[in-house]
Structure 1
């Protein structure tokens, strides 16, 4: 099950965290991984892990917010069976205190970045007889999260792009789904706590963990396992669906 041999997968933002875990999981199942990452050191880290277990991977320095960069990169890869739109950034703020510059930055990466990758990959997938697209949304797409105005906006856009792409290209044998995690323990979380709560990091980590009814944050590998299933042939009957993986956050908090 979940054999991805002879499949080519592009994973954006796969230098660390969820993206890295997904790239590793897909690579272990035989997919050829294309790592799209601006952080060269992080990209090499993912590459080394995949090569260590005998997998094949390639690194591309690509700014997903730049359409010409994305199109050039994707056309050079040429055959893409799987696209994981994972690259994104977080932001803390309300509609009142979010600056225009910060709002535009979130839009450029989290929204336009996903659009750019969709725009570039769909013609290639149509030419190759179909493909699988998986977008990284968030519980923030379905619920209003305090102090996450711009971020929530961007993830709601990702969720709707998922639905419309699934509908528009179903006849081309292209499936499109999304995953909506709650909090995931990634290097971003550790960096956020170190910067904002240097004197009580453990206490704040516990507090953030308990916002999930299950009592902890997700592990990147847990998100990757769901991604692996949705990118496999076993999931070819699934399209136009968002999958919360949230420790009960959405259903048990409403």
Structure 2
């Protein structure tokens, strides 16, 4: 959504075709994100990271342990979701003359499969960096798909969403700290320590809330409206607020959606003084 709003605000206007393309891009992004989640369950299960008793298995309907999808079908389902997103990219490339989209797809696919796949950046403490770069790539690619234009503006404006998106992964890894450390999984919190990872999480969330003000003054201040939903989770992770970490982590999705909405409004308003 943010990439489409950037494109419409600064390049092509809020026209029916631009809005339709934004919806198409959103569907593709959802497909790729779903593919990454499904394949992450697959690879975590194969590697033994996800097992009965693991926090990631207990707090949500796990594809294998919760929903009972066997590994073969799980892998095929993830591949199908990725293929659907790729088909949308192919349609946009050919129908709307976006020749750089295959390059975005290739780099995005590499990052997706490197996260928990054979390379396993997640298990090297580089998962958050992978997600950060992927978020920037998705927003820039979405803006390019809608407008056909490419500039540094989209990359800069993608940073707040990249910070909040990668903070979600970091929060999950902080939640899984004891389990991962006991099972030899070298996520970022295991590598740098839980306390340092918690402070990094706080910095990433607060940066995502404050950076829009510097980029889009004064309309960027709208993202501060998300603070009442975001700050309690930050205080819980830091140990200042007494609340189960699992409960605090459940709100991370809503914070991301709220921030994306407030930030999109700020972008649209800032481009029309």
Q: TM-score range by the shorter chain?
A: 0.3 to 0.5
Q: Give the structure with the larger helix fraction.
A: 2
For normalisation by structure 1, the TM-score amounts to 0.33
For normalisation by structure 2, the TM-score amounts to 0.32
Q: Give the structure with the larger strand fraction.
A: 1
Bigger Cα Rg: 2
